[in-house]
Structure 1
Amino acid sequence: MPSFDIVSKVDMQEVDNAVNQAAKEIEQRYDFKGTHNEISLEQDAIVLLGADDYKLEAMIDILRGKLVRRGVSARCLDFSKKEPASGGAVRQRAAIVQGVSKEKGKEIIKLIKDSKLKVQPQIMEDQVRVTGKKIDDLQEIIQFLKEKDLGIELQFVNMRS
């Protein structure tokens, strides 16, 4: 029976490259000279440290631009609230979202069932598997989901016939 998987994966090598490029640009920009600004990649998050709110916002814009240029959706970042750091600086963490959460999985399944196509979606760990008798129905589901804004970047993989 034909099937495919709906996943949300981030290429961590590209994220690392984007963070390094953003750090270089921040280091070289005139408006950042003479202030302490830092961007670093941790296991599953990016930590931004800006001298003030303005510089932190500029760093986030630079990071988003670098991610998009490297083919990584800026939606994969989940920003926490800003927190004060030493010396009047501001710190913010951006968690890197990987996988389809249970809540998003349920939302995707509800959308698929509401489409009235004859397919069976099911949650499998951090992905959603969709099976159906016709490949055309599966392709319609892919197009249908691409048009929806679910707040996360989706990839459609493992198409089997």
Structure 2
Amino acid sequence: MAAPGSLGLLHAPSFTAAKCQPVASRPGARRAPRPLLAVRASAADAANKDAVLRAFRENRALKIISGLQNFDRSSVASVVTAADKGGATHVDIACDEDLVKLALNLTTLPICVSSVDPSAVHSAVQAGAKWLRLETMIPSTRWASSSLLSRY
């Protein structure tokens, strides 16, 4: 059972960017139903994980989202800067390596990346994203979201 205020994310295994890769890119990968990402747990960054999730545990988290498909550098920079100055605890940007690097130059807030394409995740995590949100279109036209913590 998830701890109060954890949103159930604490039980997801943490993973290191160098060890995170799409399952389909591994040699001998089958096309049967499988997880989208191969993930190895790492206990080395438990303090970092705790720092990122602290605001959620304390029910004071404010994650500002620039947009799932907003790849405009100027717009993303404005949103990230406003989030940083406005007291946000996290910022969520489109899943792009260059946008992650841009955001990291503008703020010390944890960066979440959102994508509908799991193959884009690896480079964004290597660039420094702390959190992943994969969006999936369900046949009923509703969106489903899955958040994963990364680099812990």
Short-chain TM bin: under 0.3
How does the TM-score come out when normalised to structure 1?
Answer: 0.21
Greater strand share, structure number:
1
Greater helix share, structure number:
1
How does the TM-score come out when normalised to structure 2?
Answer: 0.22
Ranked by relative contact order (alpha carbons within 8 Å, sequence separation 6 or more), the top structure is: 1
